[in-house]
Amino acid sequence: MRLKEPFLLTFGFDKARPEKNMPYSLKKYITQKVHQVLATHTETYRTLLYPKNHEGCFFTLDAFGRFKLISGASKGFLPCSDKTLIGKHFWELFNNWKNAGFEKEIKKKIKEKKAIEFEIPNGKKWYQIYFAPADKGVVGHMIDITKRKEKEAELKLSCEEMEGWIEQRTRQLAEASEALKAEIAERKKVEQEILEIGEQEQRNLGEHIHDNLCQNLAGILMLTKMLAKKLDRHGLEEAKELREIAGLLNDSITQAREIARGVYPVEMEGNSLMISLQGLAARMSGLYGIHCTFASSQPVLIHDNNLATHLYRIAQEAIRNSVVHGEAKQVKIYLNQIGSRMQLVIKDNGKGLGPSAQGGGIGMQIMKYRARRLNAVLDIQNSSPCGTVLTCSFLHPVLKGNKNAVTHSL
């Protein structure tokens, strides 16, 4: 059988009211499904937007700023219940926020379709508000942050107290630092004065020996020689004894002059330090009965008298320590120049430094002080197989620049 109408028309299809053309069971089934889907989505929407155990107050506003939906106002976030707020304008409840300029800022952000978040006080409480643009209105969320603000205030107060304590402590440390600097400067000044006094006394002693003692001995020597000649003319035996006395006086004059050079060694010319160190080696050999030598790979010229005197005193003290404490029988003095650096080296064959000698006595401390005055590095080590090596390394005052030249006074 061929149908002349569409299949639905076999059921008496009514074009004006198409829902009547469905079988009752199908219509009921579709209606139930639609209601079920709508109910599910509505519940999901309400659950997401207005959860039962949420923090804060959720709400939506229409395009005029009136409450459409709200959840949580009854928990104390807003001044009345959820139902009584529906239809009321947001700024009626929070007129102080409106006057503070938040309304214009919110409208501007909503117009730009941008979310806005801000924190504002309301009485003794603080709130965090979030607005986001929605279809024909605004979605909002408000949370009470009073406790957080109280903690922040406590933390700020603690930070301020800590900053005050740190500032006070920093000031105390700065004052202590200044006092320490003053004490160090005073100590250096005292050390400088002690060295200056010592050097001045040695200089005075050297001048006294040279100008007075040596001259007196020289006068006695001349008188002795004249008396010996007179006795020779008379053929007396005592003339021979006088000549022996003259020889002893001559030796005494030589020794006195050597002592004078030792206590006041360097009168500056370019090569004066080399000559003084060579003379020091000869005097130490005669004084202590050791073999002391001086060597230099090339001429080392130092035109700074203070620098030369410091180096001479370091060498003098080092040799004395080698003989007295190290029981050395052989001491070598080296003065070398490598590029812009110079080295004074004293090497001996003694018994070396023991554990108790590492700190050093007064002589060692004075040597270290002299090295600091020269901005030099003083290093003392045991050598192999025996003995010690003292090295004083420093920049040549001329090669490192005239403005940095060593001009330290003694």
pLDDT score for 27: 56
What pLDDT score was predicted for residue 252?
82
The fraction of the chain above a pLDDT of 90, given in percent, is 13
Which residues, 6+ apart, have CB-to-CB distance to 381 below 8 Å?
353, 388, 389
Give CA–CA dist 296/408, Å, rounded.
25
Taking Cα atoms as reference points, which of 178, 166, 250, 167 lies closest to residue 214? 250
pLDDT, tens digit (0-9, with 9 covering 90-100), for 51-110: 444 567 888 888 888 888 887 765 666 667 777 888 888 777 777 666 666 777 777 777
Lowest mean pLDDT among 67-71, 208-212, 303-307, 341-345: 208-212
Which pLDDT score, from 0 to 100, does residue 113 have?
79
> Is 136 in the same domain as 273?
no
In a domain, 4, yes or no: no
Q: Across all residues in the chain, what is the average pLDDT?
A: 76
Total structural domains within the chain: 2
Instruction: Return d(Cα 131, Cα 141) in angstroms, integer.
Output: 7
E strand spans, 91-237:
116-122, 125-134, 137-144
Q: What is the mean pLDDT of residues 336-361?
A: 80
**Would you state the structure tokens that stand for residue 281, as one six-digit string?**
């080696």
CA–CA distances in Å: residue 66 to residues 69, 86, 109, 136, 196: 9, 7, 18, 11, 94
Q: Is residue 37 part of a domain?
A: no
- The 8-class DSSP code of residue 13 comes to -
Share of the chain above pLDDT 70, in %: 74
Contact (Cβ atoms closer than 8 angstroms) between residue 24 and residue 30: no
* pLDDT at 18 exceeding the cut of 80: no
- The verdict on residue 365 lying in a domain is yes
CB within 8 A of 174, min separation 6: which ones?
none
Which CATH number is 374's domain given?
3.30.565.10
User: How far apart are the C-alpha atoms of 232 and 281, rounded to whole Å?
Assistant: 41
Label residues 361-370 b or e (16+ Cβ within 10 Å = b). Answer: eeebebbebb
Which of 144, 161, 190 is the last residue in one of the domains? 144
> Would the pTM count as exceeding 0.85?
no
Query: In this structure, is residue 85 part of a structural domain?
Result: yes
Are 137 and 113 spatial neighbours (Cβ–Cβ below 8 Å)? no
Mean pLDDT (whole number) for 294-312: 85
**In-domain check, residue 181:** no
* Whether pLDDT at 282 is above 80: yes
Segment holding 410, helix H or strand E: none
Q: Is residue 254 part of a domain?
A: no
For the segment 226-273, what is each residue's pLDDT rounded down to a tens digit?
A: 888 888 887 787 778 888 888 888 888 777 777 766 666 655 444 678
Contacts within 8 Å (CB) and 24+ apart, 103-109: 106/131, 106/138, 109/133
Q: Using an 8 Å Cβ cutoff, are 49 and 138 in contact?
A: no
Query: Which of the residue ranges 69-73, 338-342, 376-380 has the most confident prediction, judged by mean pLDDT?
Result: 376-380
Of the residues 144, 161, 183, the one at which a domain ends: 144
Q: What whole-number distance in Å separates Cα of residue 320 and Cα of residue 316? A: 6
Residue 79 within a domain: yes
The pLDDT of residue 211 is 67
Mean pLDDT of 7-11: 35
- Determine the structural domain holding residue 366 and report its residue range: 269-410
Q: What is the DSSP string of 95-137?
A: HHHHHTTHHHHHHHHHHTT--EEEEEEETTEEEEEEEEEETTE
Is 387 inside a domain boundary? yes
275, 308 in Cβ contact below 8 A? no
Residue 408 has pLDDT above 70, yes or no: no
* Domain end (from 94, 114, 144): 144
Q: pLDDT-based confidence at 118, cuts 50/70/90?
A: confident
Give the number of other Cβ atoms within 10 Å of residue 290's Cβ. 19
The pLDDT, as a whole number, for residue 15 is: 47
For the residues of 293-306, what is the DSSP string, one character each?
Answer: EEE-SS------HH
Distances (CA, A) of 59 to 70, 100, 252: 4, 21, 116
70-84, 106-120, 165-179 — which is least confidently predicted? 70-84
Instruction: Tell me the C-alpha distance between 362 and 373, whole Å.
Output: 17
Q: Residue 129: how many CB atoms within 10 A of its CB? A: 19
Residue with tokens 């700065």: 174
Q: Is the pLDDT of residue 374 over 60?
A: yes
| CATH number, domain with residue 118 | 3.30.450.20
Asked if 231 and 240 touch (Cβ cutoff 8 Å), the reply is no
pLDDT attached to residue 128: 85
